[in-house]
């Protein structure tokens, strides 16, 4: 896991650690392998949130229409990337289920 993003987000007021993280083991964070899709989606959401906060901070108090357009385009682009990752994760999960079913059918025959 990229702890840099975690440390940045930890200071955000609305940051909540997802239930599949376990900090009880000497400060190490782990996740349930069955939750890989959720983990990937969470990390990407976290990165996008950090990037968005960075963009907002860099704009300062002077927010022109052009800056809003640029920020909107960046957020839209990041949202599309997240949707593609989520879609790919779902496809991988579905393919894995099909592979397990085929393997079980082969073993049972």
Phi, psi angle pair for 16, to nearest 5°? -130, 135
Q: What digits encode the pLDDT tens for the residues 39-67?
A: 555 555 666 666 655 555 555 555 567 77
pLDDT at 109 over 70: yes
**What pTM, to 2 d.p., does this model score?**
0.38
Average pLDDT, the chain: 63
Sequence ranges of the domains in the chain: 3-108
* Residue 48 tokens, joined: 């996008």
Among 71, 10, 12, 20, CA closest to 42: 20
pLDDT of residue 62: 54
């Amino acid at each position: 896991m990229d702890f840099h993003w975690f440390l940045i987000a930890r200071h955000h007021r609305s940051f909540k650690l997802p239930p599949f993280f376990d900090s009880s083991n000497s400060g190490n964070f782990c996740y349930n392998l069955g939750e890989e899709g959720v983990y990937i989606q969470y990390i990407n959401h976290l990165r996008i949130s950090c990037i968005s906060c960075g963009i907002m901070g860099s704009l300062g108090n002077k927010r022109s229409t052009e800056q809003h357009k640029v920020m909107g385009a960046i957020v839209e682009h990041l949202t599309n990337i997240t949707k593609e990752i989520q879609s790919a994760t779902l496809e991988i999960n579905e393919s894995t289920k099909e592979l397990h079913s085929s393997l079980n059918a082969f073993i049972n025959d």
